Amino acid sequence: MQNDSVPVTRATRSSAEDRLGRTEQGTAEPGIQRSLIVFTVLLAALAATNLYNYLLFHTIAELVAVAIATGVFIVAWNARTMRENGYLLVAGTGLLFVAGIELVHTLAYQGMGIFAGYGANLPTQLWIASRYLLAGTLLAAPLALRRDPGPRWVVTAFAGVTGFFLLSIFVVPVFPDCYIEGIGLSPFKVWGEYVIAALLALGGVAVYRLRDVFSPRVASHLVAAILVMIASELAFTLYISVYGLSNMVGHLLMVLSFGLIYVAFVETGIRQPYAVVFTGLTASEERLRREKDRLGQYLDIAGALFVVLDRDGRVALINRCASDVLGCPAGAAVGEPWVERFVPPAERERYRAIFTGLVQGGIGANEHVRAPILTANGCERLIAWHNTVLRDKNGVVCGTLSSGEDITEQQHAEAALQQANAKLNLLAGITRHDILNQITVARAYIDFAGEDGENPGVRDHLERARAAVDEIQKQIEFSRDYQDMGVKAPVWQRPEDLVGESVSELALPAEVGVRVDLAGLEVYTDPMVRKVFFNLIDNAVRHGGEVTEVRFSYARTGQDLTILCEDDGNGIPDGEKEAIFRETYKRRHGHGLFLVSGILGITGITIRETGVFGKGARFEIRVPNGGHRFDGGKE
């Protein structure tokens, strides 16, 4: 959103960790990806040329590296006016001289026929010289990061080192032998590769320690390039013939490492000149960045949702809390139309009216609204919004700022409390009526027994009285369970764990198995929901006939979710499918399913039986949208 009165909108639109460079990355990423694809194809083509002619493969590989090194020098040399940073100058100049030695190495390779009489030792000596120069370059460049060594001194130093290597090989042949005909690599060459690998590792560590100075993309590609270079050097310690497999692998890795350097310096440097190095920023720019980051952190640690919309209703900023609730990364949300992307279809017209009223002044600022949002996984969350308008320097409304609180669980809890109170009132009447009836019966039978103690029917009357008292006990126990419903606030619970706990408490017959397919599912419901699964399993075993398996699974039903409990027993007759959930059904089968229905109903969950009689029972527990999630909110 463009808003002169809120200058940090663009800078703080994502979470604090990736505050910098999002816009730049968005413009350069496609080009970099294309470059990596090109290098992948190039490596495959190079490997294929080896099947035809190894000398052709080697020449192409070396020339690619020479071309990339030269390109890096061109970028570095044209950026030498950045006096506060010497890394690019040292690295680019060093790579130019590395390219020079590698070019001579390519021409001297065995089979080229340009340097007659030298054999395979000469190109191997040149290779080691170029590798020492490359490792020294990557190790020295970080040391010049915040210095200005001066282009002349840098060129002079590298020219001197390069001249020393060439003189020791061609003019005064004191450079140690690296390849011995009939034997292979000399100890100097093998140990030299190890030393070079160690120097490269030190250079990689130096870059990693200074990674905050570079663009994240540049730092990551540089470190990756150095790691690949190390692997390349180790491969070059293994070959016996200059046309061998390990030699080929080493050259492929070398091309890949230069490809990563290309992406880091040439591709990024051309597309994003200021992404290569950040040390040229002025002190005022650095202070501004810190202030923007600090404000972004304040927004991110806030417990409320913050959403900024521009005049077109598109997202200009969301903080971390809003991103978490929506289940959408901040970067993906910015620029999206809020109503079409994050508002349930049934609420969109209402949202548009509220937004239009705010922007046009029809609704006063600081307007409080309760309205739902649509998360990335299709669930709805209820938010209590506090809205205000944003104005530019001319006082014109240029957008809205909304802070919100997720009250979904609060709304569920309020509704659940109302349901619980209603059920408690119902329970009081039902239980009082049943208990009084049973007490009346018990008194009557006891009176009968007392009037005719000699009558043989006394024992029968006493048994009836005992049964009535037992029924009273059941009523009281049921009232205790029912009283617990809704007393505690609903919580998120995992049905998979609750089924496991119920199975462990039930003494199930050996032939009955319980299968569960509810991994990751969580349901927002009364803490007593464990009794739901306990009773479903217990009823299946007690009243289902020859049950061998009870299965729990789930299925989508629009935006709702249905938990299925199925068994392979006798099932429920069609005429009793609704009656089994009624309180009056207790005369034959107890209070189990009536209690199940009541517990689920506290949070708006419904249950019904849809099985086919004779083929098994099938209970469908329908959880409304917003009352279910997967692994803490992610599906």
pLDDT digits (tens, 9 = 90+) for 508-556: 888 899 999 998 899 998 888 888 898 899 888 888 888 999 999 999 8
User: What is the predicted pLDDT for the residue at 295?
Assistant: 62
pLDDT at 458 over 70: no
The region of weakest confidence among 183-187, 389-393, 433-437 is 433-437
CA distances from 94 to 127, 201, 280, 330 (A): 15, 17, 22, 41
pLDDT digits (tens, 9 = 90+) for 135-193: 999 888 888 776 777 888 889 999 999 999 999 988 898 999 888 877 878 889 888 88
Q: 10: which 2 tokens?
A: 């663009």
User: CA dihedral defined by 486, 488, 490, 493, rounded to 10 degrees?
Assistant: -120
Cα gap 60→258, rounded to integer Å: 13
User: Considering only CA atoms, which of 114, 161, 156, 111 is closest in space to residue 135?
Assistant: 161
pLDDT at 316 over 70: yes
pLDDT digits (tens, 9 = 90+) for 472-498: 655 555 555 555 555 577 889 999 999
User: Considering only CA atoms, which of 277, 269, 143 is closest in space to residue 212?
Assistant: 277
Which three-class secondary structure state does DSSP give residue 120?
coil
The region of weakest confidence among 131-145, 205-219, 264-278 is 264-278
Task: Band the pLDDT of 3: cuts 50, 70, 90.
Answer: very low
For residue 196, the tally of other CB atoms under 10 A from its CB is: 24
pLDDT at 70 over 80: yes
For residue 52, the tally of other CB atoms under 10 A from its CB is: 9
Helix (H) or strand (E) holding 623: strand 618-623
User: Considering only CA atoms, which of 11, 628, 20 is closest in space to residue 298?
Assistant: 11
